[in-house]
């Protein structure tokens, strides 16, 4: 499924949005992706759209209230506590990466929560770091945000083939 998501991101990130599911399914079939992978990816993308709609900041007098009743931006002294299921699904490497992204100011709380929602929607556990990076890219794209060049490089490049200077 992640190969399909990576293909969608690579081919549609510069456009206004992802094509309609029926058109996208035809395109993915034509490229040669497996029907089960396509179906799983389209279901995941549908869930991403739903999760993002509920996590967009509301236009209110309070900057910390979001459209969703279940999500409020944390105060500067709050900390995100991950459930046992979330810990098992993400594993220590991915949780550490999320913590790094958040502490660096790259991953706002509402986007982190959508990343968590979509990570929990994956049937395999634990999620690999490369798969988490694809999830993060897809969530940023859904919110209409493009990470800056250095963050995009971090999310897209394979670090195993990098040469340290």
Task: Show me where the domains of the chain are located.
Answer: 2-161
84, 71, 132, 89: CA torsion to nearest 10: 20
Task: Report pTM.
Answer: 0.79
pLDDT at 88: 94
pLDDT tens, residue by residue, 49-92:
888 777 665 544 444 444 444 555 566 567 889 999 999 999 99
What Å distances lie between residue 151 and 55, 100, 105, 106, 146, CA to CA?
22, 12, 11, 8, 9
DSSP, residue by residue, 39-93? HHHHHHHHHHHHHHHHHSBP-SS-TTBBSSTT-BPPPTT------HHHHHHHHHH
Average pLDDT, the chain: 80
CB 97 within 8 A of CB 85: no
Give the integer Cα–Cα distance in Å for 137 and 133: 6
Give the span between the Cα atoms of 4 and 10, in whole angstroms: 10
What counts of helices (H) and strands (E) characterise the chain? Answer: 7, 0
Quick one: pLDDT at residue 6?
86
Instruction: Determine the pLDDT at residue 160.
Output: 47
């Amino acid at each position: 499924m992640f190969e399909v998501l990576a293909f969608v991101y690579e081919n549609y990130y510069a456009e206004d949005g992802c094509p309609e599911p029926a058109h996208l399914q035809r395109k993915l079939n034509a490229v040669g992706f497996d029907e089960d992978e396509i179906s799983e990816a389209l279901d995941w993308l549908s869930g991403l759209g739903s999760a993002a709609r509920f996590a967009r900041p509301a236009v209110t007098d309070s900057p910390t209230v979001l459209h969703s009743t279940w999500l409020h931006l944390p105060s500067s002294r709050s900390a995100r506590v991950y459930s046992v299921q979330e810990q098992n699904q993400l594993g220590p490497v991915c949780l550490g990466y999320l913590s790094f992204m958040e502490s660096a100011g790259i991953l706002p709380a509402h986007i982190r929560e959508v990343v968590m929602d979509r990570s929990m929607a994956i049937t395999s556990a634990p999620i690999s770091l490369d798969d988490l990076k694809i999830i993060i890219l897809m969530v940023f794209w859904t919110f209409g945000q493009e990470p800056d060049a250095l963050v995009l490089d971090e999310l897209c490049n394979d670090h195993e083939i990098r040469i340290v200077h």
